[in-house]
Amino acid sequence: MTSKPMQTSKDIQNLAMPTLTLDSLIDAQVAFMQQWLRKQAEPLSMEAWQWLGAQPLSQYVKAADLQRLINDWLLSHPTSAVMRADIRDILHTVIYHPANDNVPLSELIDDTQVEILAGYVGSHEQQRNLLIQTLVGNDTFADLLTQTLYHAINDFMENTLDKAGGVGKLMKLGRSSFEKATNKNLDEKLQTYLHRNIKDLAHRAEANAQQHLSNEEVTRLVVTGWARIKEQPISEIQTYLRNEPDDSSINHIEASIQQSYNRLRVSPYLHSLVAASVDTWYSNHQSDSIATVAAGLHINEQAMTQLSTTLLPIVTDAIESPWVTAHIREMLQAFYEQPTIKDSLVFSGD
């Protein structure tokens, strides 16, 4: 009977350890890294935010970078057709929502806001008098009123004389005689008379309006006007809008806004304002940390925790996706292909 050779410690070790090839090692490492990243995704994201928040803003962001971002990304492109359609649809949903039938305007604007606004408007006496002068005391208004009254008087006289029979003919004859004797047209005489007197009346109306509409009176009118409408439902706004498929007020408003935006976004005027605004903001915050700047937008660690939890399924799916797996494998293969690593390791099959 032939005895079996005694197993050495090396033989036992070889039996205990499976044979590894480079490919199997890389596969095992890929699986380990993906599993590790899945478990550490949430704490890693928080640690990354804590590190980023501690960095000074000026180290990574310059004022020129912000201006370039706004100019090249926001102002260089018109609003897309998809976004414009979304804006119109959202406005239509908000304006015509059934909830507007049961909510008064006072839910949107508080009485104290109206009182403050009324006081502000009422205190601008000089601007108010200028507006009254523009509307009532100017010559254009007097000319318009003169022509309106002249046509009304003329129509009345013509219709009256036509129905007056012989008396009407006699009055027309008298008018003709007057024009021949004075060498003046009666219509011109009437218009001159009206214009002279109405111009004087317009100036009196302007003075009366400026005297009557005192600061207190303007404030009272605004507050009283608000009191009359504040309990009306928000849906009352709909009565001032058209909602026909081919004639929609919302479409007209949105198109007008887009027209103004497209004109302004390429104007040197708006670009100069953007540059000045960015410089002002940056000078105020360049010494702050990124976390301090983010806190102004209510982005703190609690908000980042909630965001991290929300994004975790996306991160997990990304880690397990074929493209991430392929990139990890490619990275490991490049690592083991380095001469200093390749020459120092021996795998089965090499």
Q: What b/e string do you get for 224-246 counting C-beta neighbours within 10 Å, with b at 16 or more?
A: eebeeebeeebbeeeeeeeeeee
d(CA 292, CA 285): 9
Confidence bin at 94 (pLDDT 50/70/90): very high
CA distances (Å), origin 214, targets 120, 137, 138, 210, 224: 13, 17, 21, 7, 15
Give me the phi and psi of 104, to 5 degrees please: -75, 160
Q: What is the reported pLDDT for 168?
A: 47
The number of angstroms, rounded, from the C-alpha of 220 to the middle of its chain's C-alpha atoms is 33
Per-residue pLDDT reduced to its tens digit, 295-343: 999 999 999 999 998 999 999 999 999 999 999 999 999 999 998 888 8
If DSSP codes are grouped into helix, strand and coil, which group holds residue 243? strand
Tell me the C-alpha distance between 51 and 270, whole Å: 36
Task: Quick: pLDDT tens for 250-275.
Answer: 999 999 999 999 999 999 999 999 99
Q: What is the pLDDT of residue 349?
A: 53
pLDDT given at position 178: 46
- pLDDT for 287 equals 95
pLDDT surpasses 80 at 136: no
Q: Give the residue among 274, 314, 347 at the shortest CA–CA distance from 76.
A: 274
| Whether residue 139 has pLDDT greater than 90 | no
